[in-house]
Amino acid sequence: MRSKMVEPFVEIVRNEQAYLTEIASRGKAIIGYFCTYTPLELIHSMGIVPVRLTGSSRQTDKAYSLVPSFICPYVRGALEKGLGGEYNFLSGIIQGYTCDAACGIVNIWEENIGGKLFYSMPLPYNKSAASGEFMRARMMDLVKMLESIGGDFQEGKLRSSLELYGEIRQAMLDMYTMRYRGSLPLSAGDFLYVVLAGFITPPADYLAMLKTLVSTFTTTATRKPDGVPILVSGSIIENTRLFEIVEDRGGRIVADDLCTGYRNFSPPSGSGKDAVDALIDRYMNRFPCPSRSRVLERLPHLADLIQASGAKGVLFLFQKFCTPHLADHPVLARELNAKGIPSLAIEIAESPDVDGQFMTRIESFLEILK
């Protein structure tokens, strides 16, 4: 059952279009993005609201006329919404270059839906001084583009945005720590609503909501830490029902390696000689995503999360056709198995209906872990 504590977050997620249209009607420019490698702090500091585009669980007939069926349901669903006019309030899309599906959609969107600004920002794979210089140059390209649509760049404003986003991420990471200890009074489905609302809500408003939420924890009984502890790893998860089924069937999601989760928050901030350097430092050293790192670099991060959370197994949940995650999976599963950590991989489609096969596979996996 949905907790009353998360109702404000659920409300925003369920009424995304009306919520954002109202913000745009106040004269605020809104820029969309797909992946969490987009430098939100920079966009926000220039007076523009960055909003993560969400997928759709409906038929994607319009999108099918422009893209093949074998791209991930998430970006296909977002395109469908764009073609249907649901993102008419957007000034454009800025995307940190991660996977080809997301970046390809940016071009298709520009040609078929239109807007003022479209940019797939190149990102370095390596962490070196030259990579940092490259990224700084691309950040400055982005500053010029945002200025062309009315943005105003000031170092002091960027520093304020870095602090604001850093505070949000730290608040979320504190909740992750509570979750490891079994003292977070939210189910995994409710917690996902809290995360998803953060992609839509302007950051100052979202931070206020998080503070209100956390203040209610002290007066709420802690959640009983029962169920088999598992970690969920994969790409974007928008369907809270998946987590509800796992927990209803006797699992307890204690940690995640998701871009709608921990990967978006760790680390909370970076450091450097100026605000742009601090921004670059955070994005170059953030918790790795398969689209921007090599599989064996991800493994120690995953192992640390398993150890910190006490997870007994890993449930991989992939968007269908999500190439970066599917390519890493065989190596991760093999290496985890060698460490005595069983795993299960399931591809999810756009349908909100979770089929019986999903439930059966979850039940069998949990039996193995008991």
Closest approach of ligand SF4 to the CB of residue 63, in Å? 13
Q: DSSP string of 4-63?
A: GGGHHHHHHHHTHHHHHHHHHHTT--EEEESSTTS-HHHHHHTT-EEEE----SS--HHH
Q: From the list 33, 34, 176, 287, which residue makes contact with ligand SF4 (rule: CB under 6 A)?
A: 34
Please give, one letter per residue, the 3-state secondary structure of 57-104. CCCCHHHHCCCCCCCCHHHHHHHHHHHCCCCCCEEEEEEECCCHHHHH
Strand partners, 31: 50, 92
Asked if residue 260 binds ligand SF4 (CB under 6 A), the reply is: no
Number of residues counted as binding ligand SF4 (CB under 6 A): 16
Minimum distance from CB of 71 to ligand SF4 (Å)? 7
Query: What is the DSSP track for 126-169?
Result: S-SHHHHHHHHHHHHHHHHHHHHTT----HHHHHHHHHHHHHHH
Comparing CB distances to ligand SF4, the nearer of 161 and 319 is 319
Q: Which of 40, 279, 257, 195 is nearest to 32 (CA)?
A: 40
DSSP code for 235: S
Q: List 318's β-bridge partners, or say none.
A: 347
Q: Does 317 bind ligand SF4 (CB under 6 A)?
A: no
Question: What sign does the CA torsion over 360, 289, 306, 187 have?
Answer: negative
Contact flag: residue 101 with ligand SF4 (CB under 6 A): yes
Q: How many CB atoms lie within 10 A of CB 224?
A: 9
Q: Which of 127, 148, 141 is nearest to 39 (CA)?
A: 141
By CB under 6 A, name the one of 99, 197, 279, 314 that touches ligand SF4: 99
CB of 263 to ligand SF4, least distance (A): 11
Site string for ligand SF4, 126-165 (x = CB under 6 A): ----------------------------------------
Which of 311, 108, 328 is CA-nearest to residue 235? 328
Cβ distance to ligand SF4 smaller for residue 110 or 347: 347
Verify binding: residue 258, ligand SF4, rule CB under 6 A: no
Per CB under 6 A, the list member of 9, 33, 74, 243 interacting with ligand SF4 is 74
CA distance 231 to 255: 5
Is 45 an interacting residue with respect to ligand SF4 (CB under 6 A)? Answer: no
For ligand SF4, the binding residues in 214-253 under the rule CB under 6 A are 235-236
**Closest distance to ligand SF4 from the beta carbon of 291 (Å):** 5
Residue 93 found at the interface with ligand SF4 (CB under 6 A): no
Residue 20 near ligand SF4 by CB under 6 A: no
Window 272-311: contact mask with ligand SF4 (x via CB under 6 A): -------------------x--------------------
Q: Which positions touch ligand SF4 (CB under 6 A)? A: 34, 72, 74-75, 98-99, 101-102, 235-236, 291, 319, 322-325
